Structure 1
Amino acid sequence: MTAVMIRHNSSNRFKLAQSVLIIGVAALLASCQSATMNDNVIAIDSTQGSQQNIASLSAVISSDPNNPEGYNVRGSAYGRAGDTRRAMDDFNQAIKLNPQYYQAYANRALIERSMGRQVDALNDYNKALQINPNYDVAYIGRGNLYREAGQDNDAFADFSRAIDLNTTDPRAYHNRGLIEQKRGQQEQAIADFTIAISLSPKSPQPYNGRGVSYLALNDDANAKANFDKALSLDQTVAESWANVGLIYERQGDLQKAASYYQKAKSLDPTYQPAIQGISRTLGNGA
């Protein structure tokens, strides 16, 4: 469907802006809560992960079959490849060889989480922290479990603990920022997103998060600058397109806003801010 330009008088334009402020930002705040930063099997453990060929890792294990580290590294490689069964087998073997191998517990927990085994994942994170109470990766992983379960206070405590341990993992700051954002603590959220950006300047998620907090503070200029940056870093993220679309909608440029919402929907047909944006700018029949 072709977008139709709609003319508004100044009163209608003001009412439109107010409506978009309430509806659009609320939708982005809600959607942002699911935007966990780079939290997948590829980022199991930056100190243990490997990009080496699995065959070469298998050769290393064959030459030293009683070394748990080889299984842990290969398990990370299997996780990156999406082979959860073999990843689990390797982490199980690493733990069997060394029951105090806390990194393997945390790595196994992330695989369990990806398989929907949340209780097992929680138990493994707890075990990793029992062995090493200063392991920031486990606090971040457990914090994400808590956040997904709606236990924001527990999640906040875990992310804060990782930060107190001087973690350099941007996920701790980004995900704590999401909780602060949800609580309406936008200045604190912006500060945490800014640190996440400094630690991972090529990731679009913290730019989008920071932009949404600026929107909640009615700072459209800084919001747009952040959304534009997120989009320039990765044009395959539906959230970035929808966020820029909301800026144009707030400015009254419904045709341009609709084009951004449509692009977001083409990337993720289930993304609600894009669907709702299309409905507002083109009508329910779009």
Structure 2
Amino acid sequence: MTFDANRFVSPEASETPRAKRSLLFAALSLTALLAACQTASVPNVISLDKAQGSSENLASLTATLNADPRNPEVYNVRGTAYGRAGQNRDAIKDFSTALQLDPNFYQAYANRALVYRQLGDSKDALADYNAAIRLNANYDKAYIGRGNLYRTAGRNREALADFQKAIDLNTTDPRAYHNRGLLYQRDGQHKQAIEDFSTAISLQADAPEPYSGRGVSYLALGDDENAFNDFNTALKLDDKSAEYWTNQALVYERRNQKSRAFKSYARAAQLDPSYKPAKDGMDRTRGGA
């Protein structure tokens, strides 16, 4: 469900100046792309398993609406199912119908906002998150969604305030901690970032992003062992991520295990041929012992 950071690892004294610059560039590029990926993969406000975006489930929800066409709850649920299936326009239509039937349906505003975000419509997304918060000032998921919108727009102070508000509301949504951790990481506050990533992991242990984020901060603090463990855990959870393979390769390279580093960089480049940190890493470690 990808990390912003503008200050990163202090390379080891044994590295050459060129290697220092290359590793730093790779790490910065990595964290920026991780942030973009996480933003794109933020889960829906209503939690659905994958089957709920299936054609069978959509057909069942449609049958329910045919029998009860003025039920805003069912439109909201079907809209979320459409969103899970990637049918964003249908999702917006259902959320809008739910809001016509119940203008105080703050969950539908937050759900529609998420779909607008997925379509790149930040203006309408922000308006919907604001509407959800006006209707329910204690709705943690709307603060988290709006915070993500602010974060991807570079409005980091506003994003931090929204994530903090959700946490103050005792949210159990791991995204609040994960995304606050990204902001701490961006400002070089790696110990605070590690605490937030750890909390996110405690709330959702099967999500790879917090492990990768925590590993980045461990690496920035010179804790290669814990970083390596986290990067490997992220890969176990998602071995199709070029960023995670590049993370792993960075540790191998720091250990001067260039052959292993090259293999991991090569796997990253195979998964994403346009991913520059992987290609640069391959150039640095090609032919390594």
TM-score normalized by the length of structure 2? 0.87
* CA displacement at 1:21 relative to structure 2: 5.2
* CA displacement at 1:131 relative to structure 2: 0.2
Is the partner of 2:16 in helix, strand or coil? helix
* CA displacement at 1:276 relative to structure 2: 2.4
User: Which whole-Å deviations, capped at 9, do the CAs of 1:169-208 have from their partners, x for residues lacking one?
Assistant: 1111111100100000000000000000011101111000
Within 5 A, what are the aligned runs for 1:40-189? 40=42, 43-46=44-47, 51=52, 53-189=57-193
In 2, the alpha carbon distance for the partners of 1:83 and 1:110 equals 13
In 2, the alpha carbon distance for the partners of 1:49 and 1:24 equals 34
Matched, 1:34 2:23: no
Would the aligned equivalents of 2:126 and 2:146 in 1 still touch at CA under 8 Å?
A: yes
Which has the larger Rg? 1
Percent of paired sites with the same residue: 53
* CA displacement at 1:49 relative to structure 2: 9.8
In 2, the alpha carbon distance for the partners of 1:154 and 1:49 equals 32
In 1, the alpha carbon distance for the partners of 2:37 and 2:266 equals 20
Corresponding residue number in structure 2 for 1:5: none
Corresponding residue number in structure 1 for 2:273: 269
Aligned mate of 2:202, from 195, 198, 205: 198
When the two chains are superposed, the root-mean-square deviation of aligned CA atoms in Å is 2.3
In 1, the alpha carbon distance for the partners of 2:24 and 2:44 equals 36
Corresponding residue number in structure 2 for 1:22: 24
Segment drifting more, 236-245 vs 143-152: 236-245
In 1, the alpha carbon distance for the partners of 2:102 and 2:162 equals 26
Would the aligned equivalents of 1:208 and 1:240 in 2 still touch at CA under 8 Å?
A: yes
* CA displacement at 1:25 relative to structure 2: 3.3
In structure 2, the CA distance between the partners of 1:214 and 1:48, relative to structure 1 (3 Å rule), is closer
Is the partner of 1:65 in helix, strand or coil? coil
Which amino acid is 1:31 matched to? Answer: L
Segment drifting more, 44-53 vs 174-183: 44-53
Is the partner of 2:195 in helix, strand or coil? helix
* CA displacement at 1:43 relative to structure 2: 2.3
TM-score normalized by the length of structure 1? 0.88
User: Which whole-Å deviations, capped at 9, do the CAs of 1:212-236 have from their partners, x for residues lacking one?
Assistant: 0001001101110111111112211
**Which 5+ residue runs of structure 1 have no aligned equivalent?**
1-10
In structure 2, the CA distance between the partners of 1:38 and 1:168, relative to structure 1 (3 Å rule), is farther
* CA displacement at 1:280 relative to structure 2: 2.2
In 1, the alpha carbon distance for the partners of 2:35 and 2:221 equals 17
In 1, the alpha carbon distance for the partners of 2:88 and 2:105 equals 19
In structure 2, the CA distance between the partners of 1:141 and 1:49, relative to structure 1 (3 Å rule), is farther
* CA displacement at 1:36 relative to structure 2: 2.1
**Which 5+ residue runs of structure 2 have no aligned equivalent?**
1-11
Segment drifting more, 179-188 vs 237-246: 237-246
User: How many pairs are equivalent?
Assistant: 272
Is the partner of 2:274 in helix, strand or coil? coil
